[in-house]
Each structure stands twice: as structure tokens, then as C-alpha cells.
Amino acid sequence: MKFKGTKGKWLVGNANMADNGQNELVVYPNNDDKANGGKSVIACVAPIVVASQEDYANARLMSKAPEMLEALQEFCRRVERGEVKSKHTYVKFQELIKSATEVPNE
């Protein structure tokens, strides 16, 4: 199966998504070269003024979805080739889990 969503890395940030000037916590593609106010958005998570730690955690997890899918697909390929004994995929999964769940500057 081929992923049909937005390709590349996804980032967490904020963008002015409303005419009222209110910034939103968003997930957006890294390959977007537009300024904050004009960037493409994958998901609006919450208004910045009320965004909770849980909202930020959810946004971080969403932003790692393409990398997690890629890692899972690689794991499946390794299983099919009989390479499961390698720790390479395990380490990759551990790194993705850490980057999706840790809070920066915590």
C-alpha cells in the first residue's frame, strides 16, 4: 500500500488560521516554504491561547505519523525477508517513539 497523504516530514508550529488574527497550534509539512500566515496545514489542533500540554503532545504525535508509517513498512519488509533478528528496526522504532512522546525542554 502506498501512502497518499502529504509527503515528507511534518512539523508542529502555529499559524494565523482565522480572520480574527487568532493563532492556532498546527501540524504542517516541512517542505512548505510559505511564511506562518500562508503555510499549508495538515491539522489544526487548538487555538494557541488555550492549547494545553495534551494538545502539544497530540500535535507532536501527529507530526511523527509519516516517519512511523515508514518505519512500520520497513519492519514489514524485513520480516518478509527474514531479517527480524536485526536490532536496526527496533532502534528506529525506539527513536520515533521517543521523538513523538518526549516534551522538548522538559
Return mean pLDDT, the chain: 81
Q: Angle CA(25)–CA(18)–CA(28) in degrees, nearest 5?
A: 40
Predicted confidence (pLDDT) per residue in 62-89, tens digit: 999 998 888 888 887 887 888 877 677 7
Q: Which three cell numbers stand for residue 51?
A: 492549547
* Angle, in degrees to the nearest 10, between helices 65-80 and 53-63: 40
> How many Å apart are CA 16 and CA 101, to the nearest integer?
26
> How many Å apart are CA 65 and CA 100, to the nearest integer?
9
DSSP letter at 11 equals: E
